[in-house]
């Protein structure tokens, strides 16, 4: 069976051409749903081009002889090697696809209704879906690791997820997250795993990232440590003390009590300034005096009333 036809047109004045290979149509469908259909594509590359560079992309479906899908776009975001190392991802360029109009989307979605198993490759073999091979030793090992990490995730044990002691320093947390990213970032394994294992990996890495964000923020870490009873953190130990809890509860109740009053004062102040603009100075003074009854110690309100009274004839 011949490859289905698709309209390919070169992008205008593209400075860079990149060819991306997919094992089969199923793999291209997955990438279309994840990126291409939304109008962008991330290209992993240690040598990035400046933002605004026009790029010609050629997607090759290896299981279907002669099938190429062209697209073009502009570099919209650049992730350097240093940023990727810190964030735990890959260096590269986010390309905003400029030709993903309704007609092109309709054409691609029609193309993807074809089953690549109906076409023969150049060797006469049918393509195999990603992850349909027998599990490798690497996949079995990763599955066991993820099962162990899922236990930490269910307990919301952030220290266990990052494999660090509860008194870890910020640099220890940063180093641990960097190491976990090298081991468990989904992009490191995307082409190697069956769908179910890849989905589990994504969920676990989201939990690892959440653990990193919480433990790197002193306030969030103190609340978390207080919750789990980790009093190696001085801030958590202080927050757990009875008088501190009472003080925090009082402050919370006090804030809830004065918030409506504060909002009323702000409203009266805004209305007073509107009166000033309209030339109604006496009306503005009256509103500010009412605001002053809600907050008798407010120096700014007293000062503003004095200024306005000086404007009266």
- Does a structural domain hold residue 6? no
> Which of 118, 151, 171 marks a domain boundary?
118
Considering the domain architecture, whether residues 290 and 212 belong to the same structural domain is answered as no
- Does a structural domain hold residue 10? no
Considering the domain architecture, whether residues 232 and 248 belong to the same structural domain is answered as no
Considering the domain architecture, whether residues 20 and 114 belong to the same structural domain is answered as yes
Considering the domain architecture, whether residues 144 and 229 belong to the same structural domain is answered as yes
List beta partners, residue 40: 96
Tell me what pLDDT residue 245 has: 56
- Does a structural domain hold residue 125? no
- Does a structural domain hold residue 271? yes
Tell me what pLDDT residue 115 has: 64
- Does a structural domain hold residue 62? yes
Considering the domain architecture, whether residues 76 and 168 belong to the same structural domain is answered as no
Lowest-pLDDT range of 80-94, 125-139, 231-245, 296-310: 125-139
CATH code at 182?
1.10.287.110
Considering the domain architecture, whether residues 264 and 179 belong to the same structural domain is answered as no
Considering the domain architecture, whether residues 72 and 105 belong to the same structural domain is answered as yes
Is 39 a residue whose pLDDT tops 80?
Answer: yes
Confidence band for 116, pLDDT divided at 50, 70 and 90: low
How many domains does the chain fold into? 3
Confidence band for 174, pLDDT divided at 50, 70 and 90: very high
Confidence band for 239, pLDDT divided at 50, 70 and 90: low
Considering the domain architecture, whether residues 60 and 93 belong to the same structural domain is answered as yes
Considering the domain architecture, whether residues 20 and 88 belong to the same structural domain is answered as yes
- Does a structural domain hold residue 222? yes
> Which of 237, 267, 300 marks a domain boundary?
237
The arithmetic mean of pLDDT across residues 149-175, rounded, is: 90
Q: What single-letter DSSP state applies at residue 101?
A: -
Tell me what pLDDT residue 127 has: 39
The arithmetic mean of pLDDT across residues 68-89, rounded, is: 85
Taking phi over 0 as left and psi of -120 to 50 as alpha, with beta for the rest, 169 belongs to beta
* Domain range for 197: 137-237
- Does a structural domain hold residue 132? no
CATH code at 37?
2.40.10
- Does a structural domain hold residue 183? yes
> Which of 172, 205, 237 marks a domain boundary?
237
Burial readout 79-115 (b: 16 or more C-beta within 10 A, e: otherwise): beeeebeeebbbbbbbbebeebeeeeeeebeebbebe
Considering the domain architecture, whether residues 109 and 41 belong to the same structural domain is answered as yes
Considering the domain architecture, whether residues 267 and 205 belong to the same structural domain is answered as no
Tell me what pLDDT residue 130 has: 40
Considering the domain architecture, whether residues 259 and 191 belong to the same structural domain is answered as no
User: Against a cut of 0.75, is the pTM above it?
Assistant: no
Locus of tokens 């468990």: 184
Residue 214's Cβ-count burial label (10 Å; 0-12, 13-18, 19+) is middle
């Amino acid at each position: 069976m011949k490859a289905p036809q698709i309209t390919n047109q070169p992008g205008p004045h593209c400075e860079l051409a990149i060819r991306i290979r997919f094992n089969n149509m199923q793999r291209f469908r997955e990438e279309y749903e994840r990126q291409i259909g939304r109008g962008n594509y991330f290209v992993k590359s240690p040598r990035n081009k400046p933002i605004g560079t026009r790029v010609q992309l050629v997607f090759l479906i290896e299981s279907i002889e002669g099938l190429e899908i062209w697209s073009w776009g502009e570099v919209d975001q650049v992730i350097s090697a240093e940023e990727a190392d810190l964030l735990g991802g890959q260096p590269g360029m986010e390309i905003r696809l400029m030709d993903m109009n309704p007609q092109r989307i309709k054409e691609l979605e029609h193309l993807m209704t074809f089953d690549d198993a109906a076409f023969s490759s150049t060797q006469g073999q049918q393509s195999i879906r990603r992850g349909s091979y027998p599990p490798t030793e690497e996949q079995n090992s990763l599955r066991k690791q993820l099962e162990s990490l899922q236990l930490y995730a269910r307990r919301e044990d952030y220290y266990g997820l990052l494999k660090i002691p509860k008194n870890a320093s910020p640099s220890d947390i940063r180093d641990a997250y960097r190491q976990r990213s090298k081991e468990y970032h989904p992009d490191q394994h995307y082409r190697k795993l069956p769908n179910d294992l890849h989905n589990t990996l994504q969920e676990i890495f989201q939990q690892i990232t959440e653990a990193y964000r919480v433990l790197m923020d002193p306030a969030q870490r103190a609340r978390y440590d207080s919750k789990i009873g980790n009093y190696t953190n001085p801030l958590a130990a202080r927050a757990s003390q009875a008088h501190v809890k009472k003080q925090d509860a009082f402050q919370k109740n006090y804030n809830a009590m004065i918030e409506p009053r504060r909002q009323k004062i702000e409203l009266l102040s805004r209305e007073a300034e509107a009166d000033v603009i309209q030339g109604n100075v006496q009306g503005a003074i009256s509103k500010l005096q009412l605001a002053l009854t809600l907050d008798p110690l407010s120096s700014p309100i007293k000062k503003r009333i004095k200024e306005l009274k000086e404007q009266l004839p």
